[in-house]
Structure 1
Amino acid sequence: MKARVGIIGAGPAGLLLALLLHRSGIDSFVVERRSRAHCESRVRAGVLEQGTVDTLTAAGVGERMLAEGHVHHGIELRFGGRGHRIAFEDLVPGRAITVYGQQEVVKDLIAANLAAGVPIRFEADDVAVHDIDGDPFLTFGADRLDCDVIAGCDGFHGVSRASVPANRLRLFEKTYRFAWLGVLADVAPSASELVYSASERGFSLHSMRSDLVSRFYLQVPPDARAEDWTHEAIWAELKARHETVPGFTLATGPIREVDVAVMRSFVVEPMRFGRLFLAGDAAHIVPPTGAKGLNLAVADVRVLAAALGEYCRTGSEAGLDAYSATCLRRVWRVQHFSSWMTSLLHRFGDGDGGFDRRIQRARLEGVVRSRAQATVLAENYVGLPYEDA
């Protein structure tokens, strides 16, 4: 088989790239080792930046997102017995976030690609990358796909980055001394916007997936296991960390899913190796505090799709040559914001006699009392304009 672009991974990055290429008249072939049902049911963060919403809408997959997603014009920072709203509509007029589950984005993208005739091979066995410095091709099962370019959109544990010799990679990584316990519950949200709570017991986040489904996160030790947390213990801890302001009561209900997410930052440089281009989690991981993972993948794909369009139309590789440097400028700015949000809200221990806790409180007070500092948080949270990268 042949295609101009071979894409590994049917997550948001790979699927959006395939759709953008199709709309530019460029053929691609998507290879995914998981089943379609798995891809469409894997629950991950669902906070979409303004630029992500605009990109999906322009690509023709925004109808259900705009109808069912929840547009939020602010978030709450909760600490010291009080809640403080960061008002996007005041600080960054015309820009907001939309809460719409990543699995819903994937459903929309799969449906749009299949309707357009873009081939997607689910449950592909033994996917492998070959000859990235010459005439690249993919193999999977008994099949071979020859292509001009390979896009590695297969996540942190995928085969794309693993196919690059170690001496060509420069890795930057930081692992935090805590993890997140993620909780998906069949209960209506107790707040209309996301609540980031920096309590004395540790960080917690109240989020939502719909009018009837809520998503919560608890800061836990790095070796925590989901099976060690009973549902009663989860609700007790969530209530203790969120019911810290007068008049707020956390609604409880049946818990559908519990998982543990490692908190890490990771970047690989460069993001191009010959004819192989990495995008999304294959190239970088950010701590989830700032809700940037999916959004950063979309930013990568926008750059890559434009560069591939130029290459296929004119033969010029200028955009492809600039791909890595262009993306990494934004990647490091997002890493900085995600790291800043993480350090602003989490407990890091009191081995310093409480000095760092008091500095952290001073930083929080600075954010909610200073319009300039609040604006920095707001403009990064809703997403930097692409031209600012």
Structure 2
Amino acid sequence: MPSEDGVYNLLWRGKVIREAHRRLSEWAVRGGLPAPAVLEPLRQRLHAAVREDDAWRDQALAPMREALRDAHDHGLSVMKGLALASHYDEPLSRHMGDVDLHSSDWPSVVAFCRRVTERGWVWDVTEFPWVKWDKGTLYGQLSLVMPDNRDPVARIDLHVGPYSVGPNGRVYHLGRAEGTALDVPSRLCDPVTLAVILVAHAANDGFLSLKDLNDFAALTAGGDLDAAPLAEACRAFGCEAILDQIRGTAAALRTMNAPGDTATLLTRATVGPLTLLPPEGRNRARLAGRFAYRLSRLDGDSVLGALRAAGSSYRYYGADLSVRPGQPSARMESRWRRPDVCWRLVPPESWPAAEGADAAGGPSASEELADGVARHTRGSAVAVTLASQVFVPTVWGEVSPESVRLASELLATESQA
């Protein structure tokens, strides 16, 4: 039997602490806990972790619910974790993480960001906002935290346009259904959309998460998951075998009545392309490169274009992306506007000093990238504005002093407006 530490770490990494604690407690009440020398200490350890999570929730729920009300006011939908939790018999038993929101258009996103930053949300500096392009259309993810980056309590991941999966994958059709999230009336992504995103993420991550299995089991328990559109959407990612593996393992999970059923579950979990442990180091980068190549080919790209996407994805997933002074050669020109090129938007808190910047060489030129989003250039400098917010874009982490100077001037102008 695995050690207590091994089991606990597996449950923690799989983000199923609450569900595991609930099940072990139920089995203990029924007198069905075998090997109590291992499982009872594990249950007590899980109990302590749940109490710690309760303390975090006491702080996080109020700002998260407020963000959900703001999202509903601006027509945004709730996706991923909080939407998946609505399919659980006990929604609050599911792991609670970020507030994941989606909008298909930029004007509503700009208005939402303006409101929540006025309420005290700030841009995340551990996972910067980022944008990519899909056939000339800007899409991406904007990340904010509350109350600050030193000790954030709550986090918003705001997804805009087609939903991004992996290095260059996109989910275009995100269906909606009315419901509630954290007891707040919300527009939720529908079950098929949630399942497609779940399967595609597992394909990109390369391993089978316990949380994903619980989520899929919850989605299918009510019988309202339409299998045909789900299978069709998974074919667009080349994920048919992964869908079969998740579906079979989730079915085994639903039938578990005692800890001794674990062997059956693990047997099913290993029938398919995914492993039970996440890939590490260069293996993660190789996986990203292979996934990018497959998606590019399914997207109709040539072999050469797919190899380019694979190469850039392999390099990106294995690179040091820390922000640092440098002289990047690209300024978001057209040839760098692709799904496999991720432009991170660095907020003012993370700008390097502008020492050594050349003197300003005249006015900047501006280009609208989307409604409310613009690129500004001057000489070798580049900056991006989103409503009244100013960022310096980077792919590999280099930020030029000239770009910081330009961005600082734009920030001063925005502050005076």
Which TM class, normalised by the smaller chain length?
A: under 0.3
Bigger strand share: 1
Bigger helix share: 2
Q: Which has the higher contact order (CA 8 A, sep 6+)?
A: 1
TM-score (norm 1): 0.24
